[in-house]
Structure 1
Amino acid sequence: MPRAPLQILVVPFRRVGEQIAFAVLRREDMDVWQAVTGGGEAGETPQQAAARETREELGLDRLALLYPLQATASIPARFFADRDSWPAGTYVIPEHSFATDLTDMEIKISHEHTAVQWLDYHAAQEALGFDSNRTALGELHERLLAADLPLPVE
C-alpha cells in the first residue's frame, strides 16, 4: 500500500510507582534513539497510523490508548522514497505526535529496532536523536506533571 504524505510520532510511557519512565527505541538502520515513528498508509488518518505503528513497532498484545499531543513538526519530503507518488509540490510532510500509556504492558520490539530502554525524563531527552522527539517528550512530561493528558483518541 502506498505511503501517505504524513508521519506520526508516538512517545510511550509507563508509571512505575510515583515515577514515570519513557521508552526510547534504537533504530536498526540509523543507530539513533527515537520514539515510535512511521508513515501513514493511503487513506489512514494520523490516529489510525499511530495506532498501527504502535502495535507493529512495540509488538503489543492489546490495544494501547493514544493521547494526541500539540507537538508537530515538518519533515522534508526528499527523505521519503514514496515522494514520487505524492501530489506535485509536496516539499514537506507533517509529523503528528501522540503519547501512549504502556503501564503493565510488555514491549516486543520489531525488526526496525535493536533495543529499547525505559528512561526517566532527563535521560530520555539526552538519548533522543531528533528535535521533534524531544519536543513531544517535553510536552508529554509537562502534561504528566500537571495531570493534564488530553482525552484519548479512538
Structure 2
Amino acid sequence: MPRAPFQVLVVPFRRVGDQVEFAVLRRADMSVWQAVAGGGEVGESPEEAAAREAREELGFDGPVPLYPLQSTASIPARLIAERGNWPVGTYVVREHSFATDLTDVKIKISHEHTDIQWLDYQAAHDVLRFDSNRTALGELHERLLAADLPPPVD
C-alpha cells in the first residue's frame, strides 16, 4: 500500500499497581529509543494507522484502547523514502500522537526493534531520542496524573 503524507506516534503505557510504566522501543535501524511510530497508508485515517502500527510493532492480537493526544509534530518529508507519490510541494508531514493502554496485554516486539523497556515517566523521558516523543509522553503523563484521558477512538 502506498504511503500517505502523515506519521503517527503511539505511546504505550501500563498500570502496575499504583504506578504507571511507559514502553520505549530500541529501533533496529538507528539504535535509538522511541515510542511506536510509523507512516499512514493511503486510505487510512491517523487513528487507523496508529492502531495498525501498534499491532504490528507490539504484536498483540485483540483490540486495545487508543487515546488521541493533543501533541503534534512536523516531520521533514525528505526523511521519508516512500514520499514519491505525494503531491509536489509536500515539505513536511504532520505526526499525530496517541496513547494506548497495554495493562495486562501480552506483547512481542517486531523486527523493527531490538529491545523494549517499561520505565517510569522520568526514565522514559530521559532515554527517548526525539522531541516529539518526549512531548507526547509528557502530555500523557500529565493526563494520567489528572485522570483526564480523552475518550478512546472507535
TM-score by length of 1: 0.99
CA deviation vs aligned residue, 1:98-117 (integer Å, no higher than 9, x gap)? 00000001110000000000
- The residue number in structure 1 matching 2:137 is 137
1:49 aligns with 2:26: no
User: What displacement does 1:82 show?
Assistant: 1.7
- For residues 12 and 107 of structure 2, the distance between their equivalents in structure 1, rounded to whole angstroms, comes to 10
Of stretches 57-66 and 128-137 in structure 1, the one that deviates more from structure 2 is: 57-66
- Whether 1:98 and 2:98 are equivalent positions in the alignment is yes
Counterpart amino acid of residue 16 in structure 2: V
Q: Does 1:4 align with 2:10?
A: no
Deviation at 1:61, TM superposition (A): 2.0
**How many residues end up aligned between the 2 structures?**
154
Identity %: 75
Q: Secondary structure at the match of 1:81?
A: coil
Give me the TM-score of the superposition, normalised by structure 2: 0.99
Corresponding position of 2:87 = 87
Matches of residues 1-154 of structure 1 in structure 2 within 5 Å?
A: 1-154=1-154
What is the CA distance between 1:83 and its match in structure 2? 1.6
Note the residue ranges of structure 2 that are not aligned, 5 or more in a row.
Answer: none
CA distance in 2, matches of 1:88, 1:129: 30
